[in-house]
Structure 1
Amino acid sequence: MVQKYQSPVRVYKYPFELVMAAYEKRFPTCPQIPVFLGSEVLGESRSADGAVHVVERSCRLRVDAPRLLRKIAGVEHVVFVQKNVLNWRERTLLIEAHNETFASRVVVKENCSYSVHPENEDWTCFEQSASLDIRSFFGFESTLEKIAMKQYTANVKRGKEVIEHYLNELISQGTSHIPRWTPAPVREEDARSQPGSRQVEGTLRALGPAAEAVGTDGDKLDADYIQRCLGQLTPMQESCLIQLRLWLQETHRGKIPKDEHILRFLRARDFHLDKAREMLCQSLSWRKQHQVDVLLQTWRPPALLEEFYAGGWHYQDIAPGPLRVGQQSGWLSMLSSLQVLSVNEEGQKRCEGNTKQFGRPISSWTCLLDLEGLNMRHLWRPGVKALLRMIEVVEDNYPETLGRLLIVRAPRVFPVLWTLISPFINENTRQKFLIYSGSNYQGPGGLVDYLDKEVIPDFLGGESVCNVPEGGLVPKSLYLTEEEQEQADQLRQWSETYHSASVLRGAPHEVALDILEGESVITWDFDILRGDVVFSLYHTKQALRLGPREPGARASGQLVDKGWVLGTDYSRVEAPLVCREGESIQGSHVTRWPGVYLLQWQVHSPPGSMACSLPGDVLTALHSPGPKCKLLYYCEVLASEDFSAGANHTGKMLGIGKGWAEGDRGQEPLSPGLATGRLGPSPRTEEV
């Protein structure tokens, strides 16, 4: 495979003649370039009027490679032949070089040019390109390729510094101006009689278009622009950017992407040119198909989004990149593909604005997401699927745009969501997620590491009054939209996830979960739609006899035999929790032993009344058998390592594994593993 290098246009803010004087100081030896051992002139000729000077040199370069490789090759230095064509009239210097050593196995070609800056005749531009083709080298082709390109790019940077060194030396010696070349009158017959003139003309014809003046134009990038607007890049990274940009100019019809956008795709593929080109081409086709380029001008969010969507732009982070703030408020149910694309398009636009405003390259933005109020209800399948689709679209078409995602006040249910989505997120993207539970985002190690105190929103304890829309819950009356059928399908899928149950007085509703390994995580989410219930968690090693109606529950909803004795046949692993009508409860439990775990809901009896003390007590003689309470519930069992993976990513914030590291909102840890949170009255009976 041929490796190529293309430099940006480097500008010396000195006249061409002075730069040429500095360049000549590199010969015959140059102490500033240690690998350059010396050179000798092989041939030299001038045109009749002295305007064109052609010099051919043999240059010796030390082999900067491991000793074993040098021993196998049998050489300590390599020879390059360099041909320079200096045209004083056009004020250009064209350089061609190729290797003589191992020319049958390794082919190295280099082309350089010095020319006058197109917008300032007192400045000089420099461009450089090279190719490396290792055809065979004793089985060390890949190793030699890496060493050669690494060494070459290092010398590229050093070459610019050497020219600047000799320029400063000339100026310090009093040579700050060299007159431009002026032709001397020469008779035509004298010019034709000089052999050097004919040789120069032949050289110019052989060079063809390359011998013409090479200047910078609007289609080329200069090094100062790259550093000022795109950031510090290595020579090889600059080369990849320029090569991909040139390829787009030659093959892409219409307007090519901005340099910042091209660079993002290169970074996403670690500057692997072919992979970045493939990814970018697919994205360009996608943008054209969906007319994304005109999205900000043509799309306006519907009134529903403007009224209920919680999120907006809020100053900038410490980079300083744009900062977007969002609040939970049912954000999964509010996902809109056009909204997500609009946010990313505007994020790129704001990055460009911040680059100009602050005078330094800004290529990414920060998202601050408050997840207070997130619960299992929000993790319905269509919402999660929509989230995964949006993540895929963003990663494919907006790589390296999101600099950091700060998630604060993450509830205990968040690891469940993280377990669902993290496998679908690119590793580089996952590293940008910083997650805090409770109030851990305050103080050192929190938001102050990424945001100035003056811009932290007031609802998070900061000093900035945040005018970002707070959003809200969408009323049921607004759910019927143009996409009615899709909404109906989503609601149907949601109903398949959650189950309803009626709890009879004296006949609790129970769900059995078989745990095969010692450490698993049981998660649950339920809403009390009517009445008050007591929620408990039990464990037994005995097999249950299931009824005929549904898997996991008898006709009455009760699983435990009334003859069982608490403490002997089964045990309570957590204390009962009284749940009031309208409350939404979420929680999880890290199991200690294999066996059957029972989630139980029974009617709550106020103090002083006759109540059920055990799940098996059916007091039908004293109480009406009709339904007294109604609930909607969901439960799931996750492997401990899967659940811990999401928690471990959150580090100190969520602490899930063999038990919670800390309670929610700074409470004491719950032992041996129960984590239950209340959300207050459930909005499901009134709003969705």
Structure 2
Amino acid sequence: MTKFKENLQDVLETKHDDYCLLRFLRAREFDLQKSEYMFRQDIEWRAKTKIDTLVDDYKAPEVCEKYWAGGVLDGYDKEQGPIWILPAGTIDPKGLLYSCKTRDILTFLYMQITKLVRNNETRCKQACPRIDWGTTVIFDAEGIGLRHLWKPFIDVVTEILSTGELHYPETGKRIFIIKAPAIFPVAFSLCKPFLKEHTKEKIKVLGGNWKEVVLEHIDADVLPVHWGGTKTDPDGDPKCPSMIKPGGEVPKSYYKNVDRFEDDTKYITKDISRGAVHEVAFDVSQRGSLLRYLFKSNGHDISFGINYIDAAGKRTSILEIKRYNSHMVPEDGEMELERPGKYIMVFDNSYSWTRGKRISYWLEIVEPSLDLMEGDDDTDFLQAVIQESDP
């Protein structure tokens, strides 16, 4: 620690006490050079974003305040650390991103994290002796589905994860994932590359006994009834929306611009002659993989569908071919593929005998992190997904 302070003496402030510095050392496994680089990068980021000075006067977009789910309880875990509950499945990804800028959502979330960390640090410094309390996170995955794997939303999530690892290191103590759906391994595959090993070790996927496990760390009178405790709002609501915002579908009256997410997409462009069909074949090696796609046409509509090809060459439609006005609004979608094998995306212009079409498309296959192993229950598998190291 003494050497670390000496190396940073030109940038250290009174707020940078030993516990603050220790978080950066732990994040880089006490490698002084890497820890110093990380700390200096954090100083630069905070100066550039003015995150610490803006936090008190920041006014979030109304749609974020009303419809981003989750919040911090007004009580603490059994170690006196704060508790953040995130009912992620109630978030409306497209509604939020159609209603405000991506940067607005990121800033809103940075502010939430900054307030949590700052309040916790204030409490820690007031304790005698000084204690470093970490945050317990309850990630309620009930309701997470394909709509939450929409690429622009996943880009927001991974940006938050990256920023958290770099600028809020070692602030989380434990992360409980409860009620994880079958699609969770695919969702986590998209986020895992942005998490450090030490962070993944803090994540625990809980099974049917999740309430008992959570109550080992949090008193029942602190937790809302909906998450295993006895606490309710004054009106008896078991989800305590006064503290934990429920999320929900964003009214279309908030929508501003629905086609801005195509700007950074790397499209493949093809010309389809009048009366012709263009097919895009791709192979899937693992069941439960996720297909994400986006396409647009130039000037006129196009028919689109997806087929599965079995070993005998027989085609089975898994997304019925129909016409889309993708010349007006780009069409995007996500689909879980239940079987490994060959698939074909079909762009069908056979109905048009007078006009050729130009299409631009993007697709991505995301595989679950691991194969399901015989004998493992779902919870064991999901925990293995978390712990698996990246190659």
Same topology, TM > 0.5: yes
Counterpart Cα distance in 1 of 2:196 and 2:150: 23
1:556 & 1:347 partners in 2: Cα distance?
48
The match for 1:447 is 214
The 5-angstrom pairing of residues 93-492 of structure 1 reads 240=1, 242-249=2-9, 251-252=10-11, 257-314=16-73, 315-328=75-88, 329-330=90-91, 332=93, 334=96, 336-355=105-124, 356=126, 361-436=131-206, 439-443=208-212, 446-465=213-232, 466=240, 467=242, 468-480=244-256, 484=257, 488-490=259-261
The one-character-per-residue Cα deviations of 1:551-574 (angstroms, maximum 9, x if unpaired) are 9999789xxxxxxxxxxxxxxxxx
Deviation, structure 1 residue 524: 7.0
Deviations 1:499-543 (A, max 9, x none): xxxxxxxxxxxx9976575x5434479xxxxxxxxxxx9773123
Aligned to 2:236: none
- Following TM superposition, by how much is the alpha carbon of 1:656 offset from its aligned partner in structure 2, in angstroms? 6.8
Structure 2: unaligned runs, 5 residues or longer: 97-101, 233-239, 268-278, 293-306, 324-332, 346-361, 384-391
3-state SS in 2 of match to 1:298: coil
Give, in angstroms, the shift of residue 457 of structure 1. 2.1
Query: For the residues of structure 1 that align with 2:373 and 2:162, how far apart are their CA atoms?
Result: 22
Name the aligned partner's letter for residue 655 of structure 1.
Answer: F
- CA distance in 1 between partners of 2:148 and 2:169 (Å): 27
Superposed, 1:659-670 pairs within 5 Å as: none
Q: 1:354 Cα shift?
A: 3.6
Amino acid at match of 2:250: V
CA distances 1:203-258 after superposition (whole Å, capped 9, x unpaired):
xxxxxxxxxxxxxxxxxxxxxxxxxxxxxxxxxxxxx2x33334434x12866634
**Cα contact 2:215–2:228 (8 A) shared by 1:** no
- Cα shift at 1:417: 0.9
**For the residues of structure 1 that align with 2:334 and 2:151, how far apart are their CA atoms?**
19
CA shift, 1:310, in A, is 1.7
Partners in 2 of 1:655 and 1:347 — Cα distance? 32
Contact 1:381/1:493 (<8 A) preserved: no
Partners of 1:344 and 1:252 in 2: how far apart? Answer: 23
Residues 428-462 of structure 1: CA distance to partner in whole angstroms, max 9, x if unpaired? 1111222236x44133xx31233223323211232
Contact 1:320 1:362 in 2 (8 A): no
Shift of 1:312: 1.5
| 1:600-679 → structure 2 map (5 Å cutoff) | 639=367, 642-644=368-370, 652-653=378-379, 655=381
3-state SS of the aligned residue for 2:185? helix
The Cα offsets for residues 628-661 of structure 1, whole Å up to 9 and x where unpaired, read as: xxxxxx997555xx4327999x97527379xxxx
1:456 and 1:587, CA in 2 relative to 1: closer, same or farther beyond 3 A?
Answer: farther
Conservation of the 8 A alpha-carbon contact between 2:176 and 2:203: yes
Structure 2 Cα separation of the partners of residues 556 and 544 of structure 1 = 20
Say if 1:275 and 1:555 are closer, same or farther in 2 by CA, change over 3 A.
closer
In structure 2, the CA distance between the partners of 1:254 and 1:652, relative to structure 1 (3 Å rule), is: same
CA distance in structure 1 between the aligned counterparts of 2:231 and 2:205, rounded to whole angstroms: 21
Q: Deviations over 1:335-354 (max 9, x none)?
A: 72222221222222232244
The answer as to whether partners of 1:373 and 1:411 remain within 8 angstroms in 2 is yes
CA distance in 2, matches of 1:523, 1:490: 20
CA separation in 2, counterparts of 1:331 and 1:317? 29
- Amino acid in the other structure paired with 1:589: E
Structure 2 length normalisation: TM-score?
A: 0.66
2:296 counterpart residue number: none
Shift of 1:363: 3.8
User: How many percent of aligned residue pairs carry the same amino acid?
Assistant: 24
Deviation at 1:422, TM superposition (A): 0.5
SS at match of 1:453: coil
| Distance change (3 Å), C-alpha of 1:597 and 1:345 | closer
* Cα distance change of structure 1 residues 436 and 588 upon mapping to structure 2, 3 Å threshold: farther
Shift in Å, 1:263: 1.6
Tell me the CA shift for residue 389 of structure 1.
1.3
Q: How many residues align?
A: 312
Per-residue Cα deviation, 1:158-205 (whole angstroms, up to 9, x for no partner): xxxxxxxxxxxxxxxxxxxxxxxxxxxxxxxxxxxxxxxxxxxxxxxx
Alignment partners' CA distance in 1, 2:319 and 2:56: 56
Q: How much has 1:280 moved relative to structure 2?
A: 0.4
Corresponding residue SS for 1:404: strand
Matches within 5 A, 1:36-55: none
Displacement of 1:284: 0.3
Amino acid at match of 1:313: V
How far apart, in 2, do the equivalents of 1:404 and 1:428 lie? 11
Asked if structure 2 preserves the Cα contact closer than 8 Å seen for 1:372 and 1:409, the reply is yes
2:206 counterpart letter in structure 1: Y
Where does structure 1 lack aligned partners over 5 or more consecutive residues? 1-239, 497-510, 526-536, 558-583, 600-633, 658-688
RMSD: 4.2
TM-score, with structure 1 as normaliser: 0.40
Change (3 A) 1:399 1:253: closer
